[in-house]
Structure 1
Amino acid sequence: MLTLTDLRKSVRNFTDKPIDENKLQEITDYFKKCRRIDKSIKTEIMIIKKSGLPKDIKEIGGYNGFLIEAPYYILIFSEKKPYFIENVGYIGEDILLKLTDMDIDSCWMTLKEEKVVEEGDKMRITGLIALGYGERIKKISKLKNMFISKYGNGDLEAPKPGTDNEIRMDILDMVFMGDYGKTASYDELTATGLSEGFYAARRAPSALNRQPWRFILDGGTVALVIKKDEYTNIYEAQIAAGAAMLNFAVVISERIFDVKWEMGAADFKYNIPDDSFIIAHCRV
């Protein structure tokens, strides 16, 4: 599973090559048994072709009205219950790893937060994934120019997180020991036996690659902290949190012991700053 979390990448430029119907059915069947945070939350998926994408989905999906064009889309529906968004993030990331294993490319897309959290008991679209076979764009500048040519420079200048890695946050910047902000050495982190789980978590997708997650390792407890961000919203952070939790859980569960995340902060303090909050924890 560690290899799959490393291989999974977001693809934003797809060919029109069709996916075999048997593979589409395999994805649908996998959803029925995929991992979940809370199995009591009712969820459903629908795989549809681009030509069948409902107009209202086009209006609420994508960044600033930009919906990545793909030959197929996975719509994940959920009932509204506590932590239903994180649950969909968890489910969706498990499906993305399955797609990666099937050599099918994919990309998480954001949704308008107000539509996801609107009042009512109805099932609502909570996750949106583009899938197909991608055309590789090797240079970031080419992708950026594609956006600018169609939509203008707009919000593309959002700064990247201050990290030691231009693309992904250094693991020592996201994992703290005992209290928020208390960094560990690589040797200390390796000695815990959890470093591969944290590595997998940092490979999870997040809106604009803002990587909102931080982890606090306190003895036998791992707490997941979400850092608020002016460039993304809480819905996007919750989806990203679910994806990071899934990656951590599948790797540690495969290599050491089964991991079960519990939502909420319990009675933990950890000197969390005002711009952050604990969203979940697990025992290790």
Structure 2
Amino acid sequence: MKFYNFLKKRQSVREFKPQEISNEKMEKLKDDFKKLESNLTNIEFILFENGEEIYNKLEGLGGYSGVMIKAPHYIGLKIEKNDNDIIINSSYYMEKLITELAKLNLGSCWINLGIVPKEIISELLNGKGTMNFMIAFGIPRDEILSKVTNSEGLNDENLKYLNTYRYSNELKVEDGPSTSKSSRMAIEDIVFKEKLGQNINMDELDQRGLEKLFYYTRYAPSNKNSQPWRFIVKNDKISLAILNPDHKENLTDAGIVMYYFEKMAYDLGFNGKWKLKDSDYIEYDNNKYKIVSEFNI
């Protein structure tokens, strides 16, 4: 199995055991911070080891629709400012970090800080930068295991509950072509040819080796399972269009789906990388979209 099977089995952890993680795992995590941050500017991971203190500050404010997740530890996603490219990059690398947590058999869950007062955010960050999201992490309370493998060193690992950006019961996994029973949009709903709204032939995607890539990309987590991403295939380029890009949550989802798309593409033999771009708004289906990134195939 490859990275796409890992993605299909990812689940969010919302209940953790109270004990702290081992010193060995904590030091490994700090090393991961340094490695990831060496590639970044304007983005920093903030480790909050005292989970109880953070929970008390954010109870009733942070979390999924205001429901704060109690965990022994948290990681804040500190950014210099709310710039579109910074938001997208930050969520891309946060998902990369979540994969590292999974390698340590640790569960995690995204926490939205959108309604947390600025004064509290400023206090958490000592007055520098801003923070739209953090993740709760620790040892999952339930010992349910998923046997998955991928190309990032998770071969034959037993992984406990893994993170998604929504409640896990919103995901209904199917093994064949998408059906109306699935909570995931069909390929035909998210992939277009040359422009939004222009259907692409499934045989063409299959011949180009893209059908499986888009099939599994549908499993990428998104805020409240909104799936705000659309893909436009034009010649040797795939453009990522995001619904209502003025919403920080949707830009965050863009970075998340870019990470999973890129890793699955690599497993399938595509060595491209996403390149961020700015563009004008596109009107489609009575909504505004914007192309935020491009991938060469």
Q: TM-score, normalised by structure 2?
A: 0.72
CA contact (8 A) 2:63 2:69 kept: yes
2:131 aligned residue (125, 135, 142): 125
**What is the one-letter code of the residue matched to 2:208?**
T
Instruction: Return the match for 1:95 from 78, 94, 97.
Output: 97
**8 Å contact from structure 2 (residues 192, 232) kept in 1:** yes
5+ residue gaps, structure 1: 139-155
Q: Which runs of 5+ in 2 are unaligned?
A: 145-166, 172-178
Task: State the alpha-carbon separation in 2 of the partners of residues 206 and 101 from structure 1.
Answer: 22
Task: Give a deviation string over 1:149-184, Cα, whole Å, max 9, x none.
Answer: xxxxxxx9xx99xx8343222233211122212333
Aligned residues: 256
Instruction: State yes or no: 1:183 paired with 2:199.
Output: yes
- The whole-number CA distance in structure 1 between the counterparts of 2:23 and 2:143 is 27
Letter in 1 for 2:269: I
Q: Return the alpha-carbon distance in structure 1 between the equivalents of residues 194 and 269 of structure 2.
A: 22
Alignment of 1:1-284 (within 5 A): 1-34=3-36, 39-53=40-54, 56-58=57-59, 60-80=61-81, 81-112=83-114, 122-136=128-142, 164-228=180-244, 234-266=247-279, 272-278=284-290, 279-284=292-297
Kindly state the Cα deviation for residue 227 of structure 1 after the two structures are TM-superposed: 2.0
What amino acid does structure 1 have at the position aligned with 2:103?
Answer: D
> Where does residue 148 of structure 1 map in the other structure?
none
- What residue identity is the alignment partner of 2:85? Y
Secondary structure at the aligned position of 1:127 is classed as: strand
Contact 2:55 2:69 in 1 (8 A): no
Shift of 1:16: 2.5
**Are the equivalent residues in 2 in contact too, given 1:262–1:282 (CA < 8 A)?**
yes
Q: Is the 8 A contact 1:108 1:205 kept in 2?
A: no
CA RMSD of aligned residues (A): 3.5
Check the 8 A contact 1:196/1:251 in 2, yes or no: no
SS of equivalent to 1:13:
coil
> Structure 1 residues 95 and 124 mapped into 2: Cα distance closer, same or farther (>3 Å)?
same
CA drift at 1:39: 3.0
Alpha-carbon offset, residue 283 of structure 1 = 1.7
Q: TM-score, normalised by structure 1?
A: 0.75
